[in-house]
Amino acid sequence: MASLFTRSSTPGEEKDYHDWIAESEENERIAKQVLNPENYEENKLLLSEFPSREAWGKISPLLGNNYSTNSFSKKGWLYAAIIILLLIPASYLIYNNIASEEIKEISPGKRGANLILADGNTLDISPETYNKLEYSMQVLS
Protein backbone atom coordinates (compact mmCIF):
# COMPACT_ATOMS: atom_id res chain seq x y z
CA MET A 1 0.00 0.00 0.00
CA ALA A 2 2.93 2.31 0.61
CA SER A 3 3.94 2.08 -3.05
CA LEU A 4 0.38 2.99 -4.09
CA PHE A 5 0.36 5.97 -1.74
CA THR A 6 3.69 7.24 -3.11
CA ARG A 7 2.66 6.41 -6.70
CA SER A 8 5.66 4.10 -7.17
CA SER A 9 3.78 0.81 -7.59
CA THR A 10 4.16 -1.56 -10.51
CA PRO A 11 1.18 -2.60 -12.65
CA GLY A 12 1.27 -6.04 -10.99
CA GLU A 13 1.09 -4.49 -7.51
CA GLU A 14 -1.83 -2.30 -8.58
CA LYS A 15 -3.69 -5.36 -9.95
CA ASP A 16 -3.08 -7.27 -6.69
CA TYR A 17 -4.35 -4.26 -4.75
CA HIS A 18 -7.54 -3.96 -6.79
CA ASP A 19 -8.13 -7.73 -6.54
CA TRP A 20 -7.73 -7.49 -2.75
CA ILE A 21 -10.23 -4.62 -2.56
CA ALA A 22 -12.74 -6.59 -4.65
CA GLU A 23 -12.61 -9.51 -2.18
CA SER A 24 -14.71 -7.81 0.51
CA GLU A 25 -16.23 -4.56 1.70
CA GLU A 26 -13.99 -4.68 4.78
CA ASN A 27 -10.89 -4.62 2.56
CA GLU A 28 -12.30 -1.65 0.66
CA ARG A 29 -12.97 0.22 3.93
CA ILE A 30 -9.43 -0.48 5.17
CA ALA A 31 -7.89 0.66 1.88
CA LYS A 32 -9.83 3.93 1.91
CA GLN A 33 -8.79 4.60 5.50
CA VAL A 34 -5.10 3.77 4.96
CA LEU A 35 -4.72 5.60 1.65
CA ASN A 36 -6.50 8.72 2.87
CA PRO A 37 -3.90 11.56 2.74
CA GLU A 38 -5.56 13.34 5.69
CA ASN A 39 -5.08 10.26 7.89
CA TYR A 40 -1.46 10.02 6.77
CA GLU A 41 -0.73 13.64 7.71
CA GLU A 42 -2.53 13.27 11.04
CA ASN A 43 -0.58 10.10 11.91
CA LYS A 44 2.67 11.78 10.87
CA LEU A 45 1.95 14.70 13.21
CA LEU A 46 1.02 12.38 16.10
CA LEU A 47 4.19 10.35 15.58
CA SER A 48 6.39 13.46 15.63
CA GLU A 49 4.78 14.55 18.93
CA PHE A 50 5.06 11.13 20.59
CA PRO A 51 7.58 11.20 23.51
CA SER A 52 9.42 7.95 22.69
CA ARG A 53 12.19 8.33 25.31
CA GLU A 54 9.67 9.02 28.05
CA ALA A 55 7.56 6.04 26.99
CA TRP A 56 10.64 3.78 26.86
CA GLY A 57 11.61 4.97 30.35
CA LYS A 58 8.24 3.76 31.64
CA ILE A 59 8.20 0.45 29.76
CA SER A 60 11.84 -0.57 30.19
CA PRO A 61 11.64 -1.32 33.95
CA LEU A 62 8.56 -3.46 33.36
CA LEU A 63 10.50 -5.55 30.85
CA GLY A 64 13.37 -6.08 33.28
CA ASN A 65 15.92 -4.12 31.26
CA ASN A 66 18.54 -2.46 33.45
CA TYR A 67 20.08 -0.25 30.80
CA SER A 68 19.36 3.18 29.47
CA THR A 69 18.60 4.02 25.87
CA ASN A 70 22.11 5.47 25.45
CA SER A 71 24.06 2.54 26.93
CA PHE A 72 24.61 0.84 23.59
CA SER A 73 25.98 3.94 21.92
CA LYS A 74 28.32 4.68 24.83
CA LYS A 75 29.68 1.13 24.76
CA GLY A 76 29.94 1.26 20.99
CA TRP A 77 32.06 4.41 21.10
CA LEU A 78 34.25 2.90 23.82
CA TYR A 79 34.89 -0.26 21.79
CA ALA A 80 35.53 1.76 18.64
CA ALA A 81 38.10 3.92 20.45
CA ILE A 82 39.89 0.85 21.84
CA ILE A 83 40.03 -0.78 18.40
CA ILE A 84 41.41 2.40 16.83
CA LEU A 85 44.05 2.71 19.53
CA LEU A 86 45.13 -0.90 18.90
CA LEU A 87 45.11 -0.56 15.11
CA ILE A 88 47.41 2.46 15.00
CA PRO A 89 50.55 0.76 16.38
CA ALA A 90 49.67 -2.51 14.60
CA SER A 91 49.39 -0.79 11.23
CA TYR A 92 52.67 1.06 11.83
CA LEU A 93 54.48 -2.22 12.53
CA ILE A 94 52.92 -3.96 9.52
CA TYR A 95 53.76 -1.06 7.21
CA ASN A 96 57.38 -0.90 8.37
CA ASN A 97 57.87 -4.67 7.94
CA ILE A 98 56.44 -4.63 4.42
CA ALA A 99 58.27 -1.45 3.40
CA SER A 100 61.60 -2.70 4.75
CA GLU A 101 61.65 -5.77 2.51
CA GLU A 102 64.20 -5.25 -0.23
CA ILE A 103 63.55 -6.22 -3.80
CA LYS A 104 66.32 -8.69 -4.53
CA GLU A 105 66.11 -8.98 -8.29
CA ILE A 106 64.02 -7.58 -11.07
CA SER A 107 63.79 -9.99 -13.96
CA PRO A 108 64.31 -8.46 -17.37
CA GLY A 109 61.30 -8.08 -19.62
CA LYS A 110 60.96 -7.34 -23.26
CA ARG A 111 60.44 -4.10 -25.04
CA GLY A 112 56.85 -3.63 -26.08
CA ALA A 113 53.44 -4.68 -24.90
CA ASN A 114 50.36 -6.62 -25.89
CA LEU A 115 47.13 -4.66 -26.12
CA ILE A 116 43.91 -6.68 -25.77
CA LEU A 117 41.07 -5.04 -27.69
CA ALA A 118 37.40 -5.10 -26.72
CA ASP A 119 36.63 -7.74 -29.36
CA GLY A 120 39.29 -10.07 -27.88
CA ASN A 121 41.96 -9.53 -30.52
CA THR A 122 45.47 -8.76 -29.36
CA LEU A 123 47.73 -6.12 -30.79
CA ASP A 124 51.50 -6.40 -30.39
CA ILE A 125 53.06 -3.02 -29.64
CA SER A 126 56.80 -3.21 -30.16
CA PRO A 127 59.43 -1.04 -31.84
CA GLU A 128 58.86 -2.94 -35.09
CA THR A 129 55.09 -2.36 -35.12
CA TYR A 130 55.16 1.17 -33.67
CA ASN A 131 55.65 2.87 -37.06
CA LYS A 132 52.64 0.99 -38.48
CA LEU A 133 50.50 2.10 -35.55
CA GLU A 134 51.64 5.72 -35.89
CA TYR A 135 50.75 5.69 -39.59
CA SER A 136 47.31 4.14 -38.84
CA MET A 137 46.58 6.83 -36.26
CA GLN A 138 47.47 9.59 -38.77
CA VAL A 139 45.16 8.06 -41.36
CA LEU A 140 42.26 7.82 -38.85
CA SER A 141 42.57 11.46 -37.70
Mean pLDDT of 4-24: 83
Which range marks the domain in which residue 46 is found?
2-50
Which of the four pLDDT bands, split at 50, 70 and 90, describes residue 5?
Answer: low
Which tens digit of pLDDT belongs to each residue from 70-124? Answer: 556 777 788 888 888 888 888 877 777 776 667 666 666 667 777 788 888 887 7
Can you tell me the distance from the alpha carbon of 16 to that of 18, in angstroms, rounded to the nearest whole number? 6
In the chain, the percentage of residues whose pLDDT exceeds 90 is 1
- Residue 32 and residue 17 in contact, taking contact as beta carbons nearer than 8 Å: no
| Maximum average pLDDT range among 10-14, 66-70, 115-119, 127-131 | 10-14
The predicted model scores a pTM of: 0.29
57 found inside a domain? no
136 found inside a domain? yes
Q: Provide the domain count of the chain.
A: 2
- Amino acid code (one letter) for 131: N
**Residue 51, CB half-sphere, CA atoms under 13 Å: how many?**
5
Among 12, 4, 10, 60, which Cα is nearest to 36's? Answer: 4
